[in-house]
Amino acid sequence: MLTAIVGINWGDEGKGRMVDLLSKDFDIVARYQGGNNAGHTVVNDKGKFILNLLPSGILRDDTVNVMGQGMVIDVEHLYHEVKRITDAGIEITPDRLKISDRATICMPYHKQMDCLEEDRLGDAKFGSTRRGIAPVYADKYMKKSFRMGDLLHMDDVKRRMPAIIEWKNLTVHGGYKADEIEAEEMIKWLETYGLAFKDYICDTTEYLNNALDNGKTVIFEAQLGALRDIDFGIYPYTSSSNTIAAYAPIGAGIPGRKLSNTIGIMKAYSSCVGEGPFTCEMFGEEGDKLRTAGAEFGAATGRPRRVGGFDVPASKFGIMAQGADEIALTKLDVLSCFESIPVCVKYEVNGVETDKFPSGEDLVNAKPVYEYVPGWGCDISGCRSFSELPKAAQDYIIYLQEKVNAKIKYVSVGPGRDEYLVIE
């Protein structure tokens, strides 16, 4: 059984919380793309945790967690993230955490290049999280990266480092006029933070294939949503990797395996971090009310998120890109603050109404067409079945289901592990 849990929207849909919930029925949780540029927040009986790199199954004692080859790993960040979790009393051992020897290392100079470029762009900045993700993926495709498996051969790393640093300095020092990067410092950094994971690095392709042959079940955990996918998303305001479910077996390292099903995590309203077109955006008092009710501030960066009503064209497109079989609707409780709930049902592009999600300039020029549906105006966080929900909340779920033409199976009504209901 191979299940992908992926985002339908711009990210921050609550994927981490759904993986934490659903992973109880699975043996392994595997991350397949991205780095520490986004964060999952998970609240469970052990406390509240922000996970940037570690798969969300790390919070369950008997789940094995795989960091796949499609990931980019800042080992210094991972070092501190692991420390935070172990300090909270959760044990992390090589039996429970397996890091792909093919995963790419995100070096300090990648972070530096990200910052230098954002600063150079000034007002035209991309809204990068400044964690080095675009530069490290660029180097991966330039074939000038260090990979986690290289840490097991430090002599070779030391031999290759000067040539890579010479090349990096052409841009960092020669172009941006920043101080020269020192090869020795980079080696020291890898020795300090990278070697701490020596015992966790392995051939995760072999591990996962063997596990599946032995009947184990795997969840693929995505970071960010469909609309941030490098190919399908709102390019160039996308992430630098493929976030969609079709990439999950590749990024995890087992491309010969087919997904059994894909659960799309879709938020009951919209939120978006950073720059780029966000057609359904709500401003002023209405936006502030939604942002506060939903606590929409970035888990990785603390930045206030942009918010809007549920976006039908964007969500339908996200469901298509993910090939989602069923939907988990999250944060429905947040909409209790509205007497009538705004929903962006269509876009107006160059004077013409459409329910398609456009790309490029058409998306930039799109204007939202809003419809208002009745709210329920009361706390629903205690509801544990569809029938316990107020009629208006039931109607909202059915309305969304019809608009996006996909089955909503799970509804989450609070951040806690048990704050959800299943619609059979």
Q: Is-cis flag, bond preceding 236, omega within 30?
A: yes
- Give the residue carrying structure tokens 């947040």: 334
Q: Least separation, in Å, of the C-beta of 397 and ligand GDP? A: 13
Beta partners for residue 7, in sequence order: 225, 265
Q: What CA dihedral angle connects 373, 376, 381 and 385, to 10 degrees?
A: -80
Pick from 248, 231, 251, 34: nearest CA to 136? 34
Helix (H) or strand (E) holding 186: helix 183-189
One-letter identity of residue 331: K
The reply to whether 12 belongs to the active site is: yes
Q: Which amino acid type is present at position 407?
A: K
CA angle, residues 179, 181, 182, in degrees to nearest 5: 125
Considering the candidates 12, 74, 139, 325, report the single residue annotated as catalytic: 12
Provide the minimum distance between the beta carbon of 211 and ligand GDP in the complex, in angstroms, as a whole number. Answer: 24
> Active-site residue 40, yes or no?
yes
**What's the chain's Rg over C-alpha atoms?**
22
- Smallest gap from residue 44 Cβ to ligand GDP (A): 10
**What is the closest distance, in whole angstroms, from the C-beta atom of residue 31 to ligand GDP in the complex?**
12
**Looking at the chain, how many residues does it have?**
424
Question: Nearest distance from residue 330's CB to ligand GDP, in Å?
Answer: 4
Catalytic residue among 20, 27, 40, 114: 40
| Residue ranges in contact with ligand GDP by CB under 6 A | 7, 11-17, 38-41, 43, 299, 330-331, 333-334, 412-415
* Residue corresponding to tokens 């520490």: 36
Annotated catalytic residues are 12, 40
